[in-house]
Structure 1
Amino acid sequence: MPDTLKTPKVGFFVTCIVDAMRPNIGFASIKVLEQAGCQVDVPRAQTCCGQPAFNSGDDAGTKALAKQIIQAFEPYDYVVVPSGSCASMIRSHYNELFLGDAEWEPRQRAVSAKTWEILSFLADVMEYRPNGVCYEGNATYHDSCSGLRDLGVYDQPRALLSKVDGLRLTQLEGNDECCGFGGTFCVKYPDISNAIVEEKANKIKATKADTLLGGDLGCLMNMAGKLNRGGSEVKAFHTIEVLASMAEGPAICKREDIG
């Protein structure tokens, strides 16, 4: 563990989709953060990060949500998020909302600066490496757009997964290409979204991997749903579920997965 903060206070931002659809990711995140030496709290006042409103042009609604997030997470040393998409919204795009706001811009910039995507936080800040974690399987990895392009999350999940006993990683062709989810994109442009995810699903099946891993639940649900509807047996998990040894239950979007 780094010497700078022996026991950092982490405010865990759950995300809407994890809370509603896959709380196992939240529990796994807290487990690994505590193993890494963090004191973890989940502020009850947190709500949506505001990304859907922001992407739809509702800046006023986004600012109202963002202010709630800023207030809720100001007391913590770090804000950690199990999603590159939501982490990028807080870390990067909040800057656009509060530019020139004398009261809120300094507060926003302080919270944005300490916000991290969880896999990057574990690898880069806490210098965490899993010990005694096992997952028997051949996995392939999808790099989500926001995590990769906005936050530079690429090497970190692979470094963490390289320490998992029994896990083999197979390169995915087009690993850095969009899965077609894109938040509201898949609602506004369903035909384009479906064509993109169909191509992605075919590339996943071509790897012959039995497991699909990633760092964003939205992307994973989109790809897993397409694979499942096509009769594929590929299992999808958030990377943190594997690191927490909590990938033994129902996979994402499998029939037994009831959130």
Structure 2
Amino acid sequence: MKVGLFIPCYINAVYPRVGQATCELLTRLGCEVDYPLEQTCCGQPMANAGFERDARALAERMDALFAGYDYVVGPSSSCVAFVREGYPRLLPDYRPHACVDARIWEVCEFIHDILRPTHLDARFPHRVSLHNSCHGVRHMGLSSPSEQHVPSYSKLRDLLAMVDGVEVVEPERRDECCGFGGMFSVEENAVSVAMGRDKVRRHMATGAEYITGADASCLMHQQGIIDHDRLPIKTIHIVEILNSQS
């Protein structure tokens, strides 16, 4: 299958290793992966700030750029969720089932639901605390929301179970927000930091060496708190674990 790799702008600028790990992992799992060099921001920051007219041009560009792929896959729940939910509203000549929103997948969702591997040739001998991000849980369905009376599941746990040596734990209030929330972290900085500190300390209480999850933005927020407070824990994107050979 032909996969167009969508790497969100903040991952490209701050965490290029996450994009590289995503490409390597999908290739090892048998996908024909292509990375369109002309891609830019999907438009989420502008649209979320109320500037949908400015975001429309980016949506049109992305829709055209990824037109020739069977699947579009990206390592960011929030960006993928925005394309799925926002593009039908933003694109002026929207065509159901033909536009990019109908073919875009978050990478863990894609591996779990479409590729369905039974084993990953990966090893990560560490205890990791699983961060269930708000978009991943409530928009992408990567795990069951704790506030709903539904059977418990976690696609992230399922994938990590295929990695040799890893021990997976979850913090108290497992899917409570870390406080990032994009523009929220700018407009309500003090509240955002307080929420992030609470979240990091709950992850630390598990005895984990790493915090992992599917949203680099949430991990970035928590890593900033870890660095500022000099805390003995690290963050790592889940694709880096799934692709790890250590």
Task: Tell me whether the two structures share a fold, i.e. TM-score over 0.5.
Answer: yes
Q: Which of the residues 94, 102, 105 maps onto 1:105?
A: 94
**Pairing 1:1-259 to 2, within 5 Å after superposition:** 8-98=1-91, 101=92, 104-106=93-95, 110-154=99-143, 155-245=154-244
Please, what is the CA RMSD of the aligned residues?
1.4
Q: What displacement does 1:204 show?
A: 1.1
- Deviation per CA, 1:98-152, whole angstroms, max 9, x where unpaired? 3xx3xx2117853101110000000100112443311111111011111211110
Q: What displacement does 1:96 show?
A: 2.2
Distance 2:196 2:67 in 1: 38
Q: Is the 8 A contact 2:170 2:203 kept in 1?
A: no
2:126 partner SS: strand
Structure 1 unmatched ranges of 5 or more: 1-7, 249-259
- Deviation per CA, 1:157-207, whole angstroms, max 9, x where unpaired? 111100111110112112211111111110111011111111111211111
Q: What displacement does 1:225 show?
A: 1.6
Which one-letter code corresponds to 1:126 in the other structure? L
Structure 2 unmatched ranges of 5 or more: 144-153
Same amino acid, percent of matched pairs: 36
Distance 1:198 1:233 in 2: 13
Q: With the length of structure 1 as denominator, give the TM-score of the two structures.
A: 0.87
Distance 2:24 2:119 in 1: 12
